[in-house]
Amino acid sequence: MTEFSDYSAKYSCLAMTREDGILEVRFHTDGGPFHWGLTPHRELESAFLDIARDRANQIVILTGTGQTYCGPAVPPGGHPNRNSMTPAIYDPIYWEGKHLLMNLLNIEVPVIAAINGPAVRHAEIALISDIVLATDDTYFQDTAHFQGGMVPGDGMHVIMPMLLGLTRARYFLFTAQKITAAEAQRLGLVNEILSRADLLPRARELARLLLQQTELVRRYSRVVLTEDLKSRLQAQLSHGLALEGLARMKAT
């Protein structure tokens, strides 16, 4: 078990506040918009575990900072270290990748995503939330993987086909397609579209609505509603991560 004081100020890319059991987690980089990289990859794996082990957390809200949810966009073939890996360098990335999404899904309370703008890297972290809200200027795109010269094997290959359907997901991943908030809502990725000013108030309103149910009903509902996704990740994630890593190895 962990307590809020053990981890609330522990992570450089996460700002956390909690009121009446509602934990708000805001992704950021140096206080500004959230930039994906090795540090967030490492910290989110650990942070989600800490959050899951704190029984005082009753609802979790995930959001970003400023005008974007997660970036920056990676230009085609743009990962500078995409072919510089060795097994020793990749092993901790592989280990974190195996646990990051599973630790998120092991948070046994409802999770609400308040997506505050474009999500061009690792949108799946928000999209597997129980309730997904987005601003009207949000769009979803995977610039980090195939477009950036990497295999989409770290969970995108499981989650996007599950959410979009296999044919749409393959197109999305191969072409770095942009899906607007309105289209995402039509496809079932997003529940509500709001103005930026209304986004977090609506997330908090929904959190308090969920708090009206008993704790065990909330917890066990989260458990049963994430079982299928967890089983798919358990079966497919390690293989996908291994192929992603193999494609990034230094040429001999």
Q: State the catalytic residues.
A: 124
**SS3 assignment, position 80:** coil
CA distances from 186 to 190, 240, 245 (A): 8, 29, 34
Per-residue exposure over 73-106, b if at least 16 CB sit within 10 Å of its own CB, e if not: ebeeeebeeeeebeeeebeebbebbbbbbbbbbb
**Using the 8-state DSSP alphabet, how is residue 114 labeled?**
E
**Calpha distance 70→185 (Å, rounded):** 19
Relative to beta strand 131-135, strand 192-194 is parallel
**SS3 assignment, position 83:** coil
